[in-house]
Structure 1
Amino acid sequence: MPALALVFNAFVWGVSWIPFRHMEGHGLHPVWATALIYAVIVLAMGWMRRHAWRAFAQWPGLVLLALAAGFTNLGFNWAVTQGDVVRVVLLFYLMPLWSALLAWLLLGERPTPTALARMALALAGVAVVLKTPETDWPVPASLPDWLGVAAGFSFALTNILLRRLRGAPGESRALAMFCGCAGVAGLAAAAGTAFGAITPLPAAGAAGAWLPWAALLGTGFVFANICLQYGAARMAANVTAVIMLSEVLFASASSVALGAAALDARVWAGGTLIVLAALWSSFARTNGGDDDRHSRILEDKPS
């Protein structure tokens, strides 16, 4: 059951691009959709778990956690709606690279030679994925690319902050992440709409077209979070990380089947290197605990 729970979490995130694109097709931009969905979740959880708010006074770092989780969801949800789904998901799974760098800078945990080797492997995979005949140098070439990379970086930061805030109540950490998802997406949607970069909210009369998709996705996010907490608490962290990589499979299969991504030899080769780096991180163990940090990188995805 714990393994199936984790697979369900990965499935929800791997196919989340489908309802987001349907909602966009009915006039609701993915950034607005993210803000509205998480606002409802925050209102419900904030009411049912009112005691969780008290920890914010004792743990001010929860605000930073909220921001990191908010940028993670904003970037990922926007990217998979606008770009090639497989490409975005692979760039998002650069998390072991960002985690090693952030742990070095913020926690003083110097990466081991094997950790540096995994970083090099992941970077090589990114170079292969990004290097197309139209690009002179393998750097992110579009907004979805940049959003995917930024979301992965934010997720790595989220995991680092979760480690620093492990003494805070779990409900308060979850509430902080949900608040960040609603707040960051809401501010981005309002600012983007004001500057003409994001389409405004559709008329109230059109809600009947996108509201069922929003309800479905919001329900999926809630149950995915419950399944993640259930599964991750009962399985080894490295096993959790490996199972969560099934998100790449779900995203790839669904997007290729529905024409939202293209898999060529370059993407296969680069994606294999990135996934191998993530798997290597998941199974690695050292006496100093550095590699064990990487094995937990997928343990607390801010759903």
Structure 2
Amino acid sequence: MTRRFHNALPTLAIMLGASVWGVVWYPMRMLASMGLTGTVASAATSGAACLCVLLLRRRAISTISWHWLLVALGLAAGMTSVGFVWGAIHGQVMRVLLLFYLTPAWTAVFAHFILKDRLTRADAALSMLSLAGALTMLWSPALGMPLPANLAEWAGLMGGMGFAMSNVLVVRITRTMPRMKPEMRTAVIFGGAAVVATLVSFFEPMPTPPAASQMGTVAFIVIGLGVVLAVNNVIVQIGLARVPANRASIIMLFELVVTALSSWLFAGEVPGPREWAGGACIVAACVLSAWVHRQTREAVEASPAPSPEAASEKKPTRAMV
């Protein structure tokens, strides 16, 4: 039993991380109700998380080698954070998150241009499946074109594109700078999210600021969220290091379950038939994407090794992450 529990710890770590992201929208709405806008809340919590990582893991990131890819990763992470937080605060959480999870479509496109990965028929089919799920969810006879109905849904869609771009850039960074510590990437992600959210906050009208009596509660939630997100990221990184990527991407879909339950319990939001149908297509695309990439990797590993002469002449085109 002890051995089984030890083997299950990486999976539990990823599920815990997915659970945190499935409920993080609620304290963000609490901050918004107290007068802290979504962009300011995102900037504050991301800044607190970045500071926490820098303090706790300063030895791992003592040597910093800057690269334009790190700037791109910070911008993509900021786009992800602002899109997710702002959309979850101002829109229906489940619809925003499903639009956020259109990653198979965007990842296939971004990987083709940034990683030079060949766009296969399977990637194209899975992209179409996830987009079909989004169209099913967004279609309404009264609204006409199946497009996001409000700014919150557009924000969720934008955040999902940023999330896919972040994943692709992380792979590119590991290939370009293989000696970079994961803690450095984590600090760049949270730091970029803080900077982008701060810049965007200047363009968002500020409501009545939090009352003096609420400042202690606001500070407690912001600092607490920052610490939780930083620790959560470390826990997820531990799980991802011990679980195959294809399996981890499926486990991360547990976030959708937690979000559906939390939005029902805390906000009274119940997805309708179109949301369930569209969500099923998006989840199926994510699961099949993980399965296809697993089959591809197993086929590559099972292929016969080339001769030393051929190996010395052939340049590596892919790197194990």
Tell me the TM-score normalised to structure 2 length: 0.83
Match of 2:159 among 136, 151, 161: 151
The one-letter amino acid paired with 1:83 is: G
Match of 1:206 among 200, 210, 214: 214
C-alpha contact 1:85 1:260 (8 A) present in aligned 2 = no
The one-letter amino acid paired with 1:182 is: A
1:272 aligns to 2:284 (yes or no): no
C-alpha contact 1:53 1:172 (8 A) present in aligned 2 = no
Identical-residue share of aligned pairs (%): 35
Report the Cα distance in structure 1 between the residues aligned to 2:209 and 2:109, rounded to whole angstroms. Answer: 38
Determine the structure 2 residue equivalent to 1:188: 200
SS of the equivalent of 1:258 reads: helix
Q: Deviations over 1:173-194 (max 9, x none)?
A: 11111110110111111232xx
Match of 1:256 among 235, 241, 264: 264
C-alpha displacement of 1:26: 1.2
Mean Cα displacement is larger for which, 64-73 or 34-43? 34-43
C-alpha displacement of 1:206: 2.8
Report the Cα distance in structure 1 between the residues aligned to 2:74 and 2:122, rounded to whole angstroms. Answer: 31
Determine the structure 2 residue equivalent to 1:297: none
Determine the structure 2 residue equivalent to 1:69: 77
Q: Deviations over 1:121-141 (max 9, x none)?
A: 111100011112331010112
C-alpha contact 1:7 1:246 (8 A) present in aligned 2 = yes
Q: Which runs of 4+ in 1 moved over 4 A?
A: 47-51, 286-289
C-alpha contact 1:26 1:209 (8 A) present in aligned 2 = no
Q: Deviations over 1:126-181 (max 9, x none)?
A: 00111123310101121111111111100111011111111232222111111101
The one-letter amino acid paired with 2:85 is: N
C-alpha contact 1:55 1:169 (8 A) present in aligned 2 = no
Report the Cα distance in structure 2 between the residues aligned to 1:153 and 1:244, rounded to whole angstroms. Answer: 17
SS of the equivalent of 1:233 reads: helix
SS of the equivalent of 2:255 reads: helix
Kindly tell me: are residues 53 and 77 of structure 1, through their superposed partners in 2, closer, same or farther at Cα, counting changes over 3 Å? farther
Tell me the TM-score normalised to structure 1 length: 0.88
C-alpha displacement of 1:31: 1.2
Report the Cα distance in structure 2 between the residues aligned to 1:174 and 1:236, rounded to whole angstroms. Answer: 20
C-alpha contact 1:91 1:152 (8 A) present in aligned 2 = yes
SS of the equivalent of 2:167 reads: helix
Bigger CA radius of gyration: 2
Q: How does 1:52-63 map to 2 (within 5 A)?
A: 52=61, 54-57=63-66, 59-63=67-71
The one-letter amino acid paired with 2:142 is: E
Determine the structure 2 residue equivalent to 1:175: 187
Mean Cα displacement is larger for which, 63-72 or 213-222? 213-222
Determine the structure 2 residue equivalent to 1:216: 224
Gaps of 5+ in 2: 1-8, 301-320
C-alpha contact 1:126 1:274 (8 A) present in aligned 2 = yes
Report the Cα distance in structure 1 between the residues aligned to 2:69 and 2:58, rounded to whole angstroms. Answer: 19
C-alpha contact 2:50 2:230 (8 A) present in aligned 1 = no
Determine the structure 2 residue equivalent to 1:8: 16
C-alpha displacement of 1:208: 2.1
Q: How does 1:1-303 map to 2 (within 5 A)?
A: 1-50=9-58, 52=61, 54-57=63-66, 59-166=67-174, 167=178, 168-192=180-204, 196=205, 198-199=206-207, 201-285=209-293
- Considering only aligned residues, what root-mean-square deviation do their CA atoms show, in Å? 2.3
C-alpha displacement of 1:262: 2.6
The one-letter amino acid paired with 1:178 is: F
Kindly tell me: are residues 45 and 56 of structure 1, through their superposed partners in 2, closer, same or farther at Cα, counting changes over 3 Å? same
Determine the structure 2 residue equivalent to 1:295: none
C-alpha contact 1:15 1:254 (8 A) present in aligned 2 = yes
Report the Cα distance in structure 2 between the residues aligned to 1:124 and 1:67, rounded to whole angstroms. Answer: 28
C-alpha contact 1:2 1:232 (8 A) present in aligned 2 = yes
Determine the structure 2 residue equivalent to 1:296: none
* Count of residues paired in the alignment: 288
Report the Cα distance in structure 2 between the residues aligned to 1:221 and 1:209, rounded to whole angstroms. Answer: 18
C-alpha displacement of 1:225: 0.4
